[in-house]
Amino acid sequence: MTQIIFAPGIEDEGGLPVMIAGIITGNLEAKPERQNDFNALNGNIYMRAHDAYVDMTMVFEKGKLSVHSGKVGNPRISICTDSETLLDLANINIKFGLPHYFDYAGLAILKKLFLTRELEIKGLFAHPIMLTRFTKLMSCR
Partner 1 sequence: MPYTFGTPEWEEAFKKLTQERIATQPRPFVVFSPEWIGEWEKYVQNDAKYKELAQPNWENPVILHMLKNPALGVDQDIYVKLDLWHNGECRSIRYIPNTAVGQPGDFVVTGTVERWLAVGRKQLDVTKGMMQGKLKLKGDLPTIVKAVKSSVRIVETVGEVDGKFPDELTPEQTEAFRKVVQDLTKEFNIT
Which residues contact partner 1 (rule: CB under 8 A)? 13-16, 18-19, 22-23, 25-27, 30, 49, 51-54, 83-84, 86-87, 90-91, 140-141
The alpha helices in the chain, defined as continuous H runs, are 10-13, 16-30, 35-40, 83-88, 104-110, 128-138
Q: How far apart are CA 8 and CA 11, in angstroms?
A: 8
Backbone angles phi, psi at 25, to 5 degrees: -60, -50
* Smaller CB separation from partner 1, 61 or 84: 84
* Smaller CB separation from partner 1, 42 or 105: 105
- Least distance from partner 1 to the Cβ atom of residue 126, Å: 27
- Least distance from partner 1 to the Cβ atom of residue 24, Å: 9
* Smaller CB separation from partner 1, 2 or 25: 25
